[in-house]
Structure 1
C-alpha cells in the first residue's frame, strides 16, 4: 500500500497537541508540510514535527506532493479553505464544526462528491472502542429497550483571548461543545432526530453563547436531553436509560490515549462498573481517514454524517429563535 502525503492548513493548538502527532505516528502517512499566515509560525511548528514550512495556505495547496490536508482553522474560515482544498484536488479532514450551517455543509459535500474526494469531519470520539462496547451491551438487552439519552459536555471559562469568544471566527459554546452532544445523540439514538426545543445563554459582553441545552426526539418517541457550555465545571458524559436499566460513559468525548474508561451499568438490583481497554481515538480516526483514501473505500458516508450534523445544528438555532419569539 502506498503512503499518503498530508499537509496541514494552520497551526492551532488542537493540531499540535493531538492530530499532527497522530498523523506522524500513522505508518501510512507522510507529513509533508505545515502552513501558516506567517513564515515564522509555520517554521516553528514545522521544525517541531520535522516537515516543510509554507507561508500562506494557498501556497500549500499548490504542492503536488500533498494529496490530503487537515484543516484546524477557526470555523468561520472553513468554507473558504475547505472549498479551495477540494478545488485543488485534495482530500480533506477538517476540525469540527466543519460548516457553520447546512447550506455551507451541502456546498462542500457536493464539491467533494463531484471531484471524488473524501471530506471528513474530525469527530474522534465515536472511534473510541468504549462506544462500541456500550452499543454491544445495549444490543444484547443489558438495559432493556432504550428510552432516552442524555449527553453533557462542558468546561470552565477560557482565557479571554480564546477564539471561542470571537463571534467573527465562529465562536460560541454551541459550535464548540454543543456539537459533541449533537453527534453523540446521533450515535446513541440514531439519525432522523427532531429538535423539539433549545435554549442558549448569551455572554453579552463577548457576543457569543456561553452555554445551552436542547431536547431532541426520534420518530418512535425516544428522547434526548443535551447540555453544553464553557461556563461550568468540567463534565464529559453520556447515558442511555432503558426500560430495565442504564449505561453511562463518564469520559465519553475526550478520553486520552492512556485512560482506561469506566462504563457504569445499572439495573434495579445491580450496579456494575466495567473498566474498559485504553484506546487512542484520534489515531483511530486518522487511520480511518487514510485507509478510506488509499483503499478506495466509501467516500459518501462521511458526507452524509456531515449533512446530518449540520441539519441538527441549524435546527437547534431555529428552535432557539422560536423560543425567543414567544
Structure 2
C-alpha cells in the first residue's frame, strides 16, 4: 500500500482521482496540495498543504499525482521524481516530445516510476481493442476514423489558454490520436494535412482536424473540438473486416459499453471505474508488481511526437499566412467540414 499525494485539487482530481484512491483496496490519500486549502480538504486527505513544494518534502508521500494545467507538468514531474517520488501525471504528459523525453530521463535517473494518466487506457474495452486488432480480426488496418467533440470550456478556463497548454488538440484530441496510433500498432505516422481554428486570435485551438498516413499506406482521419455537444467516434476498417466502438468511444466507464467486430460476436462491458483500475495498477507497480498494465514511456513519446507533427504542420510558412489554417467557423461541433 502506498501513500499518495496530489498536486492540484481541480475538477478531475475531485471528481475522479480522489474517489478512485479512496475506493481502491490498497492506496491511501495521504496529502493534497492546492492554493485553495478548502478545495484540498474537500478531497478528504490526511494532510493539506497550500504549497506544492511542501507536499514533495513530506516523507510520507510515496506517489505523486500531478493534476495541474498542462504547461506545469514538466516542472513538477521533474521536481517530484528528484524528491524521490513515483509519479502519475495527467495527460498529456508533456507539451512536446522533447518535454516527454526529458521527464522520462529524469524519472529513469532517479529510479522512479513515471506513468501518463491516460485513464481510458486501463478500460478493458480499450485493451481488448488493441488485442483484437493485433490478433488480425480485421486483417491489415487500412482506414481509421477517430473523433472526439467535447463541451466548450467556460471563459477563463485554462483550456482556452495556449500559454497554459490548453486547446482541443491537447485535451480531447489526445484520446483520438492515441486510439489511432494504437490501431496501427504504435507506428509513427506522417501528417498529410491539418486544419485548425481558435475561439479568438491568440487563444488555444477550439477545433483541430488532420489526416495521418502510416507506413504501408493506411490512413487515419482524426478530429477534435471543444465547441459544442459531446460526441465520440472510433471506427477501423481493414482488409478482413471492420471494428467500431459505441458511444462514448473513448471515455466509457460510467455506463456499459460495446466493442463490435464484423463477423464476430460483440463484446459487452459493464459499467466500471477505469480511474480506479489505473490507480490500483500504478500502486501495484510501485510495490514491485511487474505484471500490471501501464502506459509505457515509448507510447507517451509517440503520442507527443505526433501532436508535435500536427502543430508543426500548422505553423506559419515563410511566405506568410498560416499553413492549413481554417477560417473562423469553418469547423462546427459535429466536425462536418471535410479536410
The answer to whether the Cα contact below 8 Å between 2:115 and 2:295 also exists between their aligned partners in 1 is no
The answer to whether the Cα contact below 8 Å between 2:27 and 2:280 also exists between their aligned partners in 1 is no
- 2:163 matched residue in structure 1: 168
- Tell whether 2:14 aligns with 1:21: no
- 2:211 matched residue in structure 1: 215
Distance in 1 (CA, whole Å) between partners of 2:279 and 2:273 is: 10
User: Taking structure 1 as reference, are residues 321 and 132 closer, same or farther at Cα in structure 2, changes over 3 Å only?
Assistant: same
C-alpha displacement at 1:206, in angstroms?
Answer: 5.9
- 1:9 matched residue in structure 2: 7
The answer to whether the Cα contact below 8 Å between 1:125 and 1:252 also exists between their aligned partners in 2 is no
After superposition, give the CA deviation of every residue in 1:170-196 in whole Å (9 maximum; x if it has no partner).
Answer: 111111111111111121112222222
Distance in 1 (CA, whole Å) between partners of 2:221 and 2:301 is: 21
Distance in 2 (CA, whole Å) between partners of 1:274 and 1:301 is: 23
The answer to whether the Cα contact below 8 Å between 2:147 and 2:233 also exists between their aligned partners in 1 is yes
- 1:305 matched residue in structure 2: 299
Q: How many residues align?
A: 317
Higher normalized helix content (fraction of residues):
1
**TM-score, scaled to structure 1:** 0.89
**SS of 1:49 mapped into structure 2:** coil
Distance in 2 (CA, whole Å) between partners of 1:144 and 1:296 is: 34
- 2:119 matched residue in structure 1: 124
- 1:264 matched residue in structure 2: 260
C-alpha displacement at 1:301, in angstroms?
Answer: 6.9
- 1:113 matched residue in structure 2: 108
Distance in 2 (CA, whole Å) between partners of 1:233 and 1:245 is: 30
- Tell whether 2:278 aligns with 1:293: no
The answer to whether the Cα contact below 8 Å between 1:173 and 1:229 also exists between their aligned partners in 2 is yes
The answer to whether the Cα contact below 8 Å between 1:35 and 1:60 also exists between their aligned partners in 2 is yes
Indicate which of 252, 257, 268 corresponds to 1:255.
252
**TM-score, scaled to structure 2:** 0.86
Segment drifting more, 59-68 vs 199-208 = 199-208
- Equivalent residues in 2 for 1:37-186, closer than 5 Å: 37-43=35-41, 45=42, 48-139=43-134, 141-186=136-181
Indicate which of 20, 27, 35 corresponds to 2:33.
35
Distance in 2 (CA, whole Å) between partners of 1:10 and 1:94 is: 11
C-alpha displacement at 1:137, in angstroms?
Answer: 4.1
The answer to whether the Cα contact below 8 Å between 1:165 and 1:206 also exists between their aligned partners in 2 is no
C-alpha displacement at 1:296, in angstroms?
Answer: 5.3
Distance in 1 (CA, whole Å) between partners of 2:214 and 2:228 is: 29
After superposition, give the CA deviation of every residue in 1:90-141 in whole Å (9 maximum; x if it has no partner).
Answer: 1110111111112211111100000111111110112111133334444555
The answer to whether the Cα contact below 8 Å between 1:6 and 1:70 also exists between their aligned partners in 2 is yes
The answer to whether the Cα contact below 8 Å between 1:38 and 1:56 also exists between their aligned partners in 2 is no
The answer to whether the Cα contact below 8 Å between 2:138 and 2:240 also exists between their aligned partners in 1 is yes
**Runs of 4+ residues over 6 Å off in structure 1:** 298-301
Distance in 2 (CA, whole Å) between partners of 1:140 and 1:55 is: 49
- 2:276 matched residue in structure 1: 283
User: Taking structure 1 as reference, are residues 273 and 148 closer, same or farther at Cα in structure 2, changes over 3 Å only?
Assistant: same
Distance in 2 (CA, whole Å) between partners of 1:100 and 1:214 is: 18
Q: Tell me the C-alpha RMSD between the 2 structures.
A: 2.4
Distance in 2 (CA, whole Å) between partners of 1:230 and 1:248 is: 23
After superposition, give the CA deviation of every residue in 1:64-100 in whole Å (9 maximum; x if it has no partner).
Answer: 0111100110001111111111111111101111111
